[in-house]
Amino acid sequence: MIGKLIKYEFKHTSKTMFTTWIVLAAATLMGSLALYRLDQGNHSDTTFSVVMNVIMLVLYIIALIGIFYVDFIYLCYHYYKTMYSSQGYLTHTLPLSPAAAFSVKIFAFFIWMLASSVLLVISVLVLLNVGSGGEFFSTISTFMWDEFIQSVNELFGISAPFLIFIFIADTFLGILWRILWVTTSMAIGQLFQSGRTGFSILAGFCIYMVNQVVNTILLAASGYNLTAFLDGMPENLIRQILGGSMIISAVMLIALYGICVYINKKRLNLE
Amino acid sequence: MNTLVTCKELTKTYGSKTALNHVSFEIESGHIIGLLGPNGSGKTTFIKLLNGLLTPTSGELYVKKLPVGIESKKIISYLPDQTYLNMNNTVKEVLDYFHAFYADFDMERACQMLDSLHISPKDRLKAMSKGTKEKVQLILVMSRRAELYVLDEPIAGVDPAARDYILQTILTNYDPDASILISTHLISDIENILDQVIFIKEGEIFLQASVDDIRMQHQKSIDALFREVFK
């Protein structure tokens, strides 16, 4: 049953998501072309063509940022519509536990946003490659990679694979955090009889503040200060901050997930 | 007769407003029951509690002696008082969706009903009139071989011809062992198909009796008694 719901969840959202990705591909093509022409610029180029290429690059950057937000907002809207609006009547009367229905929606949301993020990174890499005359990947794979490993070791006292692991884990946690932040805010908002949008926004603000306060307390408790940073932090301190930050994020995610499941199971309010 | 639904001291409040106030009654299998009351009397609140769309403030609600949950959703076929399908879908897509999730969904029956109404499975819901959308929803609900059909205002907002079709569909497509709970305030239209009624007034059960008993005791139609009680 959960497998079927996953299938339908992806099916119902795929059309819009694929459309935004086609727009991203078109924007990448446009940006690459503009960058290539600027890179190959010769004296015969008119001011008009240079300006046009710059405009195309600016449009590419706007599209890059815009598509990420469009995808996120669309998935938030889809989630709200199928959980707390008219289509919620269907979702919540399927023979599934509230936790299962919620988890499937979060899973699909996460996978779509992860895929969008990966495609955005690929798009930027394509542009960098065009900008470097097609030598970006070959440079990265030899000289820069070795230098990167050495620099990470010297600057932070940690290995490059560890830093990459932290980066990937942080990306995953960051996407999940944003999703659960929004869904928990919506779940809290729907508990109220009126002004649900306002209460959702207020709940979102409160959750954000709690997260900030917890992270600040953690950072202070770990002994972080600006002087220590400028003097070069000892290896174990960096590990503590990175590891501690991830643990706190994971605890916050579990708490938000628990709140959502509890509300959908015990306090559902589809008036 | 088996008891399908049992509610004991069921209460639901919205802030300071009490929608259901210590309601207790039972629904048995094999009946068509009218849940009758004016707007705001608590009918839809009870139906939503029965379908797990609201949680009670206090009291107990059981479907076949089990709390409202996965098992109760398997045996209840629910028609809400509003459109709840994805309007971008075609009829075929919503049929497949119901078929995928409800083990008791009878695809053949659904296709026959659609055919009799000349509704093409390829039609998109958003291109349909309000009445046709309601008919599609009713077809989906009545195509399940459920033990309890819960229909919230199935004839509100549709023309008299559509009402006749809806009532006919309800009567011809349910298993005699199943029960149908119909919520409405349009009594005269459905009175003839009911065999039990529950009058709900300001969140409390005012009367639960068989239609025959009411006619015998009060020498009135259900509609006439309703008008007298809720005047």
A28 closest CA partner among A133, A138, A122: A122
Q: Kindly report the three-state secondary structure assignment for every residue of chain B.
A: CCEEEEEEEEEEEECCEEEEEEEEEEEECCCEEEEECCCCCCHHHHHHHHCCCECCCEEEEEECCEECCHHHHHHEEEECCCCCCCCCCEHHHHHHHHHHHCCCECHHHHHHHHHHCCCCCCCEHHHCCHHHHHHHHHHHHHCECCCEEEEECCCCCCCHHHHHHHHHHHHHCCCCCCEEEEEECCHHHHHHHCCEEEEEECCEEEEEEEHHHHHHHHCCCHHHHHHHHCC
Q: How many Cβ atoms are within 10 Å of B189's Cβ, its own excluded?
A: 16
pLDDT digits (tens, 9 = 90+) for B25-76: 999 888 999 999 888 889 999 999 999 999 999 999 999 999 999 999 999 9
CB contact B55 to A (< 8 Å): yes
CA distance A269 to chain B (A): 5
* Contacting residues of A for B101, CB less than 8 Å apart: 1, 4-5, 94-95
Complex ipTM value:
0.90
pLDDT digits (tens, 9 = 90+) for B172-213: 877 778 899 999 888 888 888 898 999 998 899 988 989 889
Counting beta carbons within 10 angstroms of the beta carbon of residue A101, is it exposed (0 to 12), middle (13 to 18) or buried (19 or more)?
buried
Contact B97 A8 (CB under 8 A): yes
Q: Which of residues 92-131 of A touch B (CB under 8 A)?
A: 92-97
Domain ranges of chain B: 3-229
The C-alpha atoms of residue A160 and residue A246 are separated, in whole angstroms, by: 18
Contact A270 B85 (CB under 8 A): no
A235 pLDDT band (50/70/90 cuts)? low
- Show Cβ contacts of residue B204 under 8 Å, excluding neighbours closer than 6 positions: B20, B21, B22, B23, B42
Rounded to two decimals, what is the model's pTM?
0.88
* Contacting residues of B for A97, CB less than 8 Å apart: 69-70
pLDDT digits (tens, 9 = 90+) for B149-171: 999 988 877 778 778 888 888 88
Domain ranges of chain A: 1-94+103-132, 135-271
> In a mutagenesis test of the A interface, which of B58, B71, B84, B147 is the best target, namely the one with the most A β-carbons within 10 Å?
B84
CATH number for the B3-229 domain, one of 3.30.70.1230, 3.40.309.10, 3.30.70.270, 3.40.50.300? 3.40.50.300
If you average pLDDT over residues A20-40, what whole number do you get? 88
